[in-house]
Amino acid sequence: MGSRIVIPLVALLTASACALSPEAAPPTSAPPAVTSPPATPPPSSTASGAAQDTRPALARTTGTMTPNLEVEVVGLNRVRGEHLIAQVRLTNTDSEKKQPWTGEMGDNTRPLGEIRWASGIGVLDARARTWILPYQPAGSPCLCSDQDRDGLGYFIDPGASVSLYAVMPAPSGNPSTTTVVTPLGPPMVDVPISDDPPVIPPGTTIPDPDAEPVTIVTRRLVTPSESPDESEETADDGTDLHVNLSSDVLFAVDKATLTPRAKAVLARTAKLIDASPGTTVRVEGHADSSGTDAINDPLSTRRARSALRALSTLVTRQGVTFQARGYGSRRPLYGNDTAEGRGRNRRVTVTFARPEPATATTPPTAPAPGATGLTGTGTADGQPISMEITGLRRLTGGLGLLTYRITNRGDGEAWFNELHRAQDWMSFKYQAASNVTLTDVETRRRYLPARLQVARGGNVDLYCACTDVSGVRLSTEKFAPGRQREFWSLFELPDTAATMKVTIASFGDLRVPVR
């Protein structure tokens, strides 16, 4: 345990809270910690000790890339009303081989050098559209388990377990349950949060988040959708709604006069503004990289003003202030190296406070008999591949969780690479199983996998809120004979939908009930 100061658990639960600020002065001593009575630490080369942690599981999931790693939540405790201590148990269910765990649990939105920490354990604050990760203290990636510092080792022995912890902010609104996320497998929904003191296994020390300056680490969740004709794209970041309207639909080439079709496109945006609680609407014109700034800048400004004038007549709510500005080609959403990218960069973006979720006036219509399908088949490397949708579950905050299973039904190895080959309208930082869309069967609106925003150096990187198939997980799409893997994606889910059309890679369209 070294020089760390250990205090009784009751002291952690009653101590006054300190400000969480990365700019605060460093402490003069090591942080106090939550601890259990001393015990013999596990070996440094392997993680055994399954007998040390026999707590019942609150929730469990299975690793996607490594199905013989079982993940169980064994503790989820709110401390002082503002912190959350998450404890998970990883079990190697293989009866013969050791299993490395550290690269599996690292947050894939952080630098690769930090993979030995359990920095990927987090929770989804669905109402705030926020992905919450462990605190980051000075000099360490996170307040979470470390293979070296905590003596956990790199491998888990066959049949053995390792207990991990992560300390993070509690989700907003004091919920009784939350969704626990890890990089290993699908999120675990409705995990109960306890306000009792956490139960900690022997030999484990959990740092006190109020004992030193820490940085709060969160990822804003953005949910995109689009119209079937791609004339309009919408991104909801939990605070604002960003509606991207195609300039090719609104205007003729090099013109700023609205086309006859423009009014119908703008009408939907006006209805969204009417439902918004905000009083300010920003209308921004954008161009692709063709032409010069001398042409693009004034044209994008004129187009923004033209759209503003039309919206101001369509919006019926009083007290709304409109602002117009042109940015030329300086803020592309897509690469300008393709015709599709340039076309999508020619846009008018309308931004305003996101409307509150709609309340259904009538119960969702149940799916018609025979309309629901949950399976699909295909081939990869000459092997038969099957897909089964295991759930489309409604979460709080207007979100939905899709889970599905891919199985190699053949007698030979196969790479199924279709999951990350999405024709997406926003680029990702890495490969993920993003080749999935949901379509509302009533409105025909398409929903794409959610994104996690990560700000770095003035830029924003986007990561898919879905199964990762990059980095240490590159072999996720490699299937041995009989191999089965679990995949997942987060989406915005319309409140009134009872059934969604789900399209996964080339498996075809399936009608899936929302649970």
Give domain status of residue 138, yes or no: yes
Are both 162 and 270 inside the same structural domain?
no
CB of 190 closer than 8 Å to CB of 133: no
Are both 320 and 390 inside the same structural domain?
no
What is the structure's pLDDT at 16? Answer: 31
d(CA 172, CA 189): 16
Query: 474 phi and psi, to 5 degrees?
Result: -60, -30
Give domain status of residue 273, yes or no: yes
Helix (H, G, I), strand (E, B) or coil at 468: strand
Q: To 10 degrees, the CA torsion angle through 307, 317, 271, 494?
A: 140
- Note down pLDDT in tens along the chain; length 515 residues: 333 323 233 333 333 333 333 333 333 333 344 444 333 333 333 444 444 688 999 999 999 988 899 999 999 999 999 999 999 999 999 999 998 887 788 888 876 656 668 999 999 999 889 999 999 998 888 899 988 778 788 889 999 999 999 999 999 999 999 999 999 999 999 999 999 999 988 878 899 999 999 999 999 999 999 998 888 999 998 889 999 999 999 999 999 999 999 989 999 999 999 999 999 999 999 999 998 999 999 999 999 999 999 999 999 999 999 999 999 999 888 778 888 888 888 999 999 999 876 554 444 444 443 334 589 999 999 999 999 999 999 999 899 999 999 999 999 999 999 998 876 666 677 889 999 999 998 888 999 999 998 887 777 788 999 999 987 788 899 999 999 999 999 999 998 899 999 999 999 899 999 99
Are both 451 and 330 inside the same structural domain?
no
Which residue's entry shows tokens 């956990």?
152
Of 387, 370, 401, nearest to 488 (Cα)? 401
Are both 300 and 385 inside the same structural domain?
no
Which CATH number do you get for residue 332? 3.30.1330.60
What is the structure's pLDDT at 422? Answer: 73
Are both 121 and 243 inside the same structural domain?
no
Helix (H, G, I), strand (E, B) or coil at 51: helix
d(CA 364, CA 48): 49
CB of 117 closer than 8 Å to CB of 141: yes
Distance of CA 306 to the CA centre of its chain: 36
Domain total for the chain? Answer: 3
Helix (H, G, I), strand (E, B) or coil at 18: coil
Which CATH number do you get for residue 423? 2.60.40
Among the candidates 179, 212, 245, a domain finishes at: 212
- pLDDT tens across 83-138, in order? 999 999 999 999 999 988 877 888 888 766 566 689 999 999 998 899 999 999 98
Are both 236 and 164 inside the same structural domain?
no
Give domain status of residue 366, yes or no: no
d(CA 281, CA 288): 23
What is the structure's pLDDT at 286? Answer: 96
Give domain status of residue 364, yes or no: no
What is the structure's pLDDT at 364? Answer: 46
Of 96, 92, 114, 115, nearest to 105 (Cα)? 115
How far CA 304 is from CA of 281, 312, 350, 512, in Å, comes to: 12, 12, 9, 40
Which residue's entry shows tokens 């013969």?
96
Give domain status of residue 390, yes or no: yes
Residue 236, burial from CB neighbour count under 10 angstroms (0-12, 13-18, 19+): buried
Among the candidates 320, 353, 386, a domain finishes at: 353
Give domain status of residue 360, yes or no: no
Give domain status of residue 148, yes or no: yes
What is the structure's pLDDT at 2? Answer: 34
Are both 394 and 327 inside the same structural domain?
no
d(CA 443, CA 446): 9
Are both 336 and 196 inside the same structural domain?
no
What is the structure's pLDDT at 282? Answer: 97
Are both 399 and 452 inside the same structural domain?
yes
Are both 345 and 257 inside the same structural domain?
yes
CB of 418 closer than 8 Å to CB of 433: no
Give domain status of residue 290, yes or no: yes
Which residue's entry shows tokens 């079982």?
70
What is the structure's pLDDT at 47? Answer: 47
CB of 385 closer than 8 Å to CB of 414: yes
Determine the structural domain holding residue 43 and report its residue range: 9-212
Are both 465 and 497 inside the same structural domain?
yes
HEC-encoded secondary structure of 417-460: CHHHCCCCCCCCCCCECCCEEEEECCCCCEECCCEEEEEECCEE
Are both 203 and 238 inside the same structural domain?
no
How far CA 429 is from CA of 109, 211, 424, in Å, comes to: 9, 35, 13
Among the candidates 212, 229, 250, a domain finishes at: 212
CB of 79 closer than 8 Å to CB of 13: yes
